[in-house]
Amino acid sequence: MRFHMNGSSDENDIVTATASAEHIRKFVFGGGADAPEDRLEIKIPEILQGAYSFYTWPCAPILAHFLWERRQTLMCKRILELGAGTALPGIVAAKCGARVVLSDNCILPKSLAHIQKSCLTNQLQPGVDIDVVGLSWGLLLNSVFRLPVLDLIIAADCFYDPSVFEDIIVTVAFLLERNRGAKFIFTYQERSADWCIEALLKKWKLHASTINMDDIGKQSGVDLLEFMGGHTIHLLEITLNEPE
Ligand SMILES: C[S@@+](CC[C@H](N)C(=O)[O-])C[C@H]1O[C@@H](n2cnc3c(N)ncnc32)[C@H](O)[C@@H]1O
């Protein structure tokens, strides 16, 4: 199996609005006709003309719906979100009972403050109900060593710049090594036919497999194509290679 990052698109083309002011975007999970009371509403503050981390990319709601549909398995699970941005998947996981650490680049204090705002908008108190930390891919800083034991690492749309693919993989390999049995589950958007992480997976002794996305969103009556906006998005799982 190859893990090319295929396709082509402009990574800014999901931004169709022109407003620079902050607005709140609402995401609804569940609430279908068969279980209308089983419903979660998340409100995400966004600034469309801000940096990458201030709005919710198409990969995020897809990962969030995937987590919502496995919410029974999330209770008390310890989850780290990398490159969280507005943090929709991690916030959904926390609302489903997981103990979540949200992270983004430690050199972007405004992005980390925006993550905290996303948490507070959803009645999650940083430091109490959820944690927010600066964690830069490829750098094994104190924040990485201070992380709790993890069951799951998640990320939405972090493979968008090939110059940092190895940094992400190094961080993931290190964390999977420290947390045997944990998995890294992430969504990525195809942007270039030339991008591929296969050699990096081999180098860092990792194994990747694709996760079928056909049923994601069905419980909430959501069509994933609505979020994809014409892009191709994949859901992958990475684990440590089992010793032979
Ligand atoms: C395309 S955005 C995706 C944001 C969010 N996960 C989503 O899907 O809406 C990429 C995110 O990765 C973060 N990021 C970029 N480079 C990083 C690095 N070297 N270390 C940690 N985070 C980084 C950005 O700040 C941004 O939040």
Domain assignment present for residue 16? The answer is no
Kindly give the pairing relationship between strand 78-82 and strand 39-47: unpaired
pLDDT (tens digit per residue) in 62-119: 999 999 999 999 999 999 999 999 999 999 999 999 999 999 999 999 999 999 999 9
* Ligand 1 atom nearest residue 104's Cα: 22
- The Cα–Cα gap between 14 and 57 comes to 8
CATH number for 117: 3.40.50.150
Residue 36: partners with Cβ closer than 8 Å, 6 or more residues away: none
Domain assignment present for residue 5? The answer is no
8 Å CB contact between 147 and 101: yes
Domain assignment present for residue 151? The answer is yes
- The Cα–Cα gap between 159 and 5 comes to 8
Domain assignment present for residue 91? The answer is yes
Domain assignment present for residue 29? The answer is yes
Kindly give the pairing relationship between strand 131-134 and strand 99-104: parallel
Nearest CA to ligand 1 atom 12: 83
Q: Ligand 1 centroid vs 96 CA: distance in angstroms?
A: 23
8 Å CB contact between 182 and 153: yes
Domain assignment present for residue 10? The answer is no
pTM (2 decimals)? Answer: 0.92
Mutate to test the pocket of ligand 1, among 52, 65, 234 (most ligand atoms within 8 A of CB): 52
Domain assignment present for residue 157? The answer is yes
Nearest CA to ligand 1 atom 10: 158
pLDDT (tens digit per residue) in 6-35: 543 333 333 334 446 899 999 999 987 777
Range of the domain at 189: 24-240
Domain assignment present for residue 68? The answer is yes
Total domains in the fold of the chain: 1
